[in-house]
Each structure stands twice: as C-alpha cells, then as structure tokens.
Amino acid sequence: MSEPTRGGAGLPMRGRWGLGRAWARAACLLALLWAGPAGGQTAEEVEEVFWQSVVCEDAVEMRLYLEEYPGGTYEAEARACLEAGLGLDQAARRLVQRGLAAVGQAPGPADGLFGGPGAQTREAIREWQKAKRLEATGYVTGEQAAALMELGRAAAQEAAQAAEEQAAQEAARADDAAYAEAERTNTAEGYGAYLAAYPTGQHAATARERQAAREEAERWRAGRTFRDSLRSGGTGPEMVVVPAGTYQMGSPSYEGGRDDDEGPVHQVTIAEPFAVGVYEVRREEYAQFVEATGYAGGNACWTYEGGEWADRAGRSWRDAGYRQSGQHPVVCVNWEDARAYAAWLSRQTGQGYRLLSEAEWEYVARGGTATARYWGEGETGQCRHANGADATAKREHPDWTTVACTDGHARTAPVGSYAENGYGLYDVLGNVWEWVADCWHESYEGAPRDGQAWTGGDCSRRVLRGGSWSDVPGFLRSAIRLRYTAGSRYVSNGFRIARSLD
C-alpha cells in the first residue's frame, strides 16, 4: 500500500503529521475518512465513528481529528487530549496560570486546575490567545505553555522577591522595635535580650558596645560594695563605689567651729567614680599586711595616759595603751605606714589602692550634703553617727569638753558602730583622724579643683581629716583639717583607703 496523500499538495502523510509508530493506525483512519458516508451514514455518524476510533493519548490522531473536523463535536476533548499530552504537571499548570495573571488575564487562583470549557482559566487562555492573534481555543499548545510558563516563572520570582523584601522589612521593623526597647531600659540585661533575639541584627554591633558599657557602668554603680581577692589568700577591705560629682569644698565663714585654713570655699569636680573603704582600716587588716611583709611599724606612739599626751616607747598599733579588738580601727600609724599598706594591697590585688586626696576625702565625708556634718549643721545627733568625746569619755576625763550625749565608747569603737552617711561610709567623722595624700597648706588658695592630691607645699607635714574619739564636737565636721609630720604616730590617728576603678 502506497503512502496516502491528501488534496492537491500530494504530500506524504508521514511528512505532514509525523505518524511514526502510529502509521498503520493513521492509515486506517484516513481510509475511513476517504471512504466517506456509506450505507446511509450521515457525516455526523462518520465523525462519531472516527472519534470512537482515535486514542486521546495519541497526539497525531488528535491533530488529525481537529484538521478533519474543525469546530467538530469533540473539538474541546481533542484539544484537552493534546494539552494533556504536553505532560504539564500541577506545578507547570500553576506557572501557566501565573503567566496569564502577569499579562493581565484573570485565570483565577493558581491551583493548577484548568477545568473544562468555560472555566475561568480556559477563558483567560482564550483571551490571551486572542490578544496574541492566535487561534482562540482556550487550550494551550506546547509552545504557548512554554511562553506562559516563562512569564509565570518571572512573575513567581518577582512575587518571591517582593515577599522576601516585605519579610525583610517586617523583620527590620521588629529588629528596630526590639532595639528601641533595649535602649529604653538601657541596661546590660536589656541589650542582652535584644542580642539573644537578634544576634546578627542591624543593631547588634551597637548593642554589644552598649551592653559592655552598661555592664561596666553597672559593675561600678554608685553604692555597690565589693572586696578584691588577695594573691596570698583571703580578701581585702570592703569597698564602696562613690559616684562622680561636683561640690563646694571648705567651710563658710559662719560655720561654728570653723578655722581659717578651711577656706576659701571653692568648687571641686570629681570627674570619675572611685571606690572608698566602707570602714577605716581595721587592726586585723593591718596585721595581715605586717605579717605578710615583716613591716616594722614603729615601737613608739603618742598616747593619752595619766592625764597627759606623750610619745611613749612600747606603744604601737599592737598596743595603743587600751583594749582593742581586730574590728577596731588601727591607730598609732603614720602617713608612711598608711602608704605602705596601700602599696601592699595594690600588689596583692593588682588594683590601684591609695590614700584619698584631701578633696576626695571631704567629698565622700559630706556624702552629698552641704551641711557642717553629714547628719546636719549642729552637734545634735552626733552620738548616733560618730564616736567623739561624749559623756562616756567625760566619766574618765572630767575636765574634757564633750557633747551632751552618750555614744558608748570612751576610746575607739569597732568600725561600723554608728550610722552610715549618704555614700555608705561609716565613721568618716570621729573614731580616728584619717591620713590623706596631700601635703599641708595653710589655706585653699591655689588648691586643685579636679579632686587630685595637692602635692606641692610643706610635704614634711601631711593632712588628716575627720576628728577622733578624743575630740570636741567642733572637730567632728566635714571641713575640719589637721596636720602632723608624716612620721608621727598618734593613738587617735588611722586611715581609710581608696581604689581607682579604671
């Protein structure tokens, strides 16, 4: 049997339709078509017979039907079969729908379901085909599907990018809000919470810097107490952080008990917080230093015995001529002894321990007040706040001028026996005079205003502040000043230490 041809073209059927393996079947179908209606069959019946003879999965047969019966009864089914033969899975169909939407058509939801004739996606395909001046069938060919899928991919990428940008914007807003909350609290914990939620957030670097700064600030917040560890074991004295600040140093001319060396009044600024001993240095703390270093510490001290002051041999910080426990402030120490203790403490801790400057001492003694004493202007209330010459001392020394109250101690009291001041310090006034770092000057003319020690002047004599257990009420004032030679040891003299925080 020769290859069938059709019409005047005379082209081989294999060349026109690419029959391939379906050649024999297609030839039979063609023969059926050429035979035409027979035995009284109508054209519609022949079409029905032909349609019943073809296979949906065979694209050649579907195209053959569509060519022979354009607009035929089964056109939609044939085109659906051809479309199905493209192998479009649900994802591909969704891309087609997205592509249609991208060019302004209305395919409905991108669900991968095209539906039958009249369905929303079919109408969208039809309208797109019309716009492209293609045969408006409502069914896509392979080439059309590829074009729409490409448009769908581009639309999907744009949508994904838009969604990603939106998500990024929402994430950035959430990031900003979380950081704003951290800034509002302005604590190390607040910045830590932000970093836990956004470790690589847009504010992470700044948050880490501020967290570190707040940790440092909170570590040295005013009022915090601490003890440094000693290399030889144990801990150093208890320290309290004192805030930076500005105050008026000295006493006004009208202050009761004032001396001329307490002026002129001048402003001093303590620029940085620092730490100060909560208590005067105790005997047991000083003993630890002496035992560790073999420091001599002297074998004579000025004491008040038998109704008179005298420099007595055999008296020292170990035996001041009256009973003291390890909790009492160390006495019978000179300026060099105090400096030696601070230097040892620095070596033991690796921190900068020292004596307070005179300006620092008055700043912490006032405890934020501007009155003559940190508990008020007058001596009333002294026995609750300080150990000075009182009714207890007067029983032993009837000729002394004392305050009219009882503090319970005729000589030194255990540190911390009385009320603290505004900065958490005990016994800043009374108990023992406290050595400071400065050289002696007769007034504050030319004194430093930055809180530093005044190291010019008469450095053979050093300054003590605060009054002691043996002093009259007028000496227990924040502005009181005293000087002794740097090597002198008195039974009423001790010291307090400071520590830098940098």
What is the pLDDT averaged over residues 199-206? 96
Bridge partners of residue 304, in order along the sequence: 309
The set of residues, in sequence order, having a beta carbon less than 8 Å from that of 154 and lying 6+ positions away, is 102
pLDDT digits (tens, 9 = 90+) for 350-374: 999 999 999 999 999 999 999 999 9
Residue 177 has a pLDDT of: 97
Residue 34 has a pLDDT of: 57
Q: Is the dihedral of CA 363, 368, 371, 375 positive or negative?
A: negative
pTM over 0.85? The answer is: no
Core vs surface per residue 87-104: b (16+ CB within 10 A) or e:
ebeeebbbbbbbbbbbee
pLDDT digits (tens, 9 = 90+) for 382-404: 999 999 999 999 999 999 999 99
Burial class (CB in 10 A: 0-12, 13-18, 19+), 388: buried
pLDDT digits (tens, 9 = 90+) for 464-475: 999 999 999 999
pLDDT digits (tens, 9 = 90+) for 260-286: 999 999 999 999 999 999 999 999 999
Min mean pLDDT across 111-115, 186-190, 355-359, 445-449 is at 111-115
The HSE-up count of residue 119 (CA atoms within 13 Å, CB side) is 18
What is the pLDDT averaged over residues 429-450? 98
Residue 36 has a pLDDT of: 57
Q: Is residue 415 within 8 Å of 497, Cβ to Cβ?
A: no
Rounded Cα gap, residues 68 and 28, in angstroms = 15
Question: Could you tell me the end-to-end alpha-carbon distance of the chain, in angstroms, rounded to an integer?
Answer: 108
Residue 31 has a pLDDT of: 58
Min mean pLDDT across 17-21, 81-85, 341-345 is at 17-21
Residue 15 has a pLDDT of: 35
CA distances from 1 to 5, 27, 64, 232, 427 (A): 12, 10, 20, 116, 129
If pLDDT is split at 50, 70 and 90, which confidence band does 217 have? confident
Rounded Cα gap, residues 358 and 447, in angstroms = 10
Domains, the chain: 225-499 (3.90.1580.10)
Q: Which two tokens stand for residue 170?
A: 């929402």
